[in-house]
Amino acid sequence: WYYEGARYTLLDTVAADAGACHNNEVEACGLLTDSREPPDDGHGPYWRLHYLPAAVMVRPIKGHAPNTVLADLADFASKGGAFTVVPRPSPAANVTVPAVNTGTATKNVRRVNVPLGDYYAVTDYFVQGRSFKEECWVADLSVPPGGLKRATVYVLLTRYKTLNHIRLLRPLSTTPDERRRVVQQFLAATKLDPDLAAELRLLDRRATATRDRYAPEYEHARHLEERWTTAATTT
Structure letter (DSSP) for residue 158: T
Helices (H), 106-193: 150-157, 176-190
Average pLDDT over residues 185-208: 91
pLDDT tens readout for residues 127-136: 888 888 888 8
The amino acid at residue 152 is T
The Cα 225–Cα 210 span in angstroms is 20
Is the pLDDT reported for residue 80 higher than 70? no
Long-range contacts formed by 181-187: CB under 8 A, 24+ apart: 181/143, 182/143, 185/143, 185/147, 185/148, 186/148, 186/153
CB 62 within 8 A of CB 81: no
0.85 surpassed by pTM: no
Q: What confidence tier does 219 reach under pLDDT thresholds 50, 70, 90? A: very high
State the Cα angle at 116 between 110 and 122, rounded to 5°: 105
Q: What confidence tier does 76 reach under pLDDT thresholds 50, 70, 90? A: low
* H or E element at residue 97: strand 93-99
Is the pLDDT higher at 128 or at 70? Answer: 128
For every residue of 31-62, DSSP letters joined together read EE--TTPPPP---SSS---SS--SEEEEEEGG
Is the pLDDT higher at 14 or at 108? Answer: 108
Residue 42 backbone dihedrals phi, psi, to 5 degrees: 80, 0
Residue 93, CA distances (Å) to 52, 109, 132 in order: 21, 6, 37
pLDDT tens readout for residues 19-60: 778 878 888 888 999 999 999 888 888 888 999 999 998 888
49 burial level (CB within 10 Å; 0-12, 13-18, 19+): middle
Per residue in 72-81, is it b (16+ CB within 10 Å) or e — as a string? eeeebeeebb
Mean pLDDT, the chain, rounded, equals 84
Which of 79-93, 122-136, 178-192, 199-213 has the largest mean confidence? Answer: 199-213
pLDDT tens readout for residues 147-169: 788 888 888 888 998 888 888 88
The Cα 86–Cα 53 span in angstroms is 8
Average pLDDT over residues 189-212: 92
Average pLDDT over residues 192-207: 92
